[in-house]
Structure 1
Amino acid sequence: MESRTSMASSPGALPYYVAFSQLLGLMVVAMTGAWLGLYRGGIAWEGTLQFNVHPLCMVIGLVFLQGDALLVYRVFRNEAKRTTKVLHGLLHVFAFIIALVGLVAVFDYHRKKGYADLYSLHSWCGMLVFVLCFVQVQVQ
């Protein structure tokens, strides 16, 4: 049992896990972009395509960049603590800004179309995730 635990925590395989996670994250972003481009008509800030900004920004901000922010301390463990903290913070800030753009896009789209905001379980859960995720960042 000990050998399995020591193998799982050994940093020798870490570059492969990080490379795999980055590849997987980029694939998710690319697949979301392809889905929006091929099946949903693309993205734009004006018109009916404004809604499509929302899923792309949420995937980039809350999935990809947040995941990268979490990996910073493992990937750059030999760098200066200050450097990793700055990179970690910058990734969180970029994730927040991009996710906020996605929220603004969907609320603006709803306002222009005359739809009610926060009318579904998805929207309430999404707002809860957004708020709790970034309240957690502020508490650290």
Structure 2
Amino acid sequence: MDGAAAPARPAGLSAYVAVSQALGLTLLLTTGAWLGRYRGGVAWQSALRLNVHPLCMVLGMVFLQGDALLVYRVFRNEPKRSTKALHALLHGLALLISLVGIIAVFESHRAKGIPDMYSLHSWCGMAAFVLYLLQGLLQ
């Protein structure tokens, strides 16, 4: 495939990517505004540590993971090595930021004496994170 012509970009891809980025940034901004206005903000060394969780999950598991999935479509005419590196970098950042969000929950629960993994939300979230981690490890 080295001598083959690069495939044409699908019609409307730029518009779809622009909409997805706009929606992702809107979600990040509204999450940040919600945390700032109604939940008191975000801080690691206080009772606000739990608020780190939703911000990290939206940034990592939604925004960065979505961008990592789009890399091969958006940069289809770039060298494969470059797109693979960017894809891996975005997935790695998503994993790292999501891990910070999970640690924030466990640390907040430990500080307040709340048991861990007591809700369906926590079990489904942990399952999603572990499956995401396993997918990255087993590729």
Tell me, yes or no, whether TM beats 0.5: yes
2:138 is the counterpart of 1:126: no
Secondary structure, in 3 states, of the residue corresponding to 1:34? helix
Distance of 2:35 and 2:52 partners within structure 1: 9
Distance of 2:121 and 2:58 partners within structure 1: 15
Structure 1: state its 5+ residue gaps: 1-9
Aligned equivalent of 1:7: none
2:3 is the counterpart of 1:19: no
Secondary structure, in 3 states, of the residue corresponding to 2:41? coil
1:93-112 equivalent positions in 2, closer than 5 A: 93-112=92-111
Distance of 2:138 and 2:13 partners within structure 1: 28
Distance of 1:124 and 1:130 partners within structure 2: 10
Q: CA deviation at 1:11?
A: 1.3
2:33 is the counterpart of 1:34: yes
**Identical positions, percent:** 65
Aligned equivalent of 1:83: 82
Structure with the bigger percentage of helix: 1
Q: CA deviation at 1:63?
A: 0.2
Aligned equivalent of 2:4: none
Q: Which amino acid aligns with 1:117?
A: D
Count the aligned residue pairs: 132
Aligned equivalent of 2:6: none
Q: CA deviation at 1:136?
A: 1.0
TM-score, scaled to structure 1: 0.91
Structure 2: state its 5+ residue gaps: 1-8
Secondary structure, in 3 states, of the residue corresponding to 2:98? helix
Deviations 1:80-112 (A, max 9, x none): 000000000000110011000001111000001
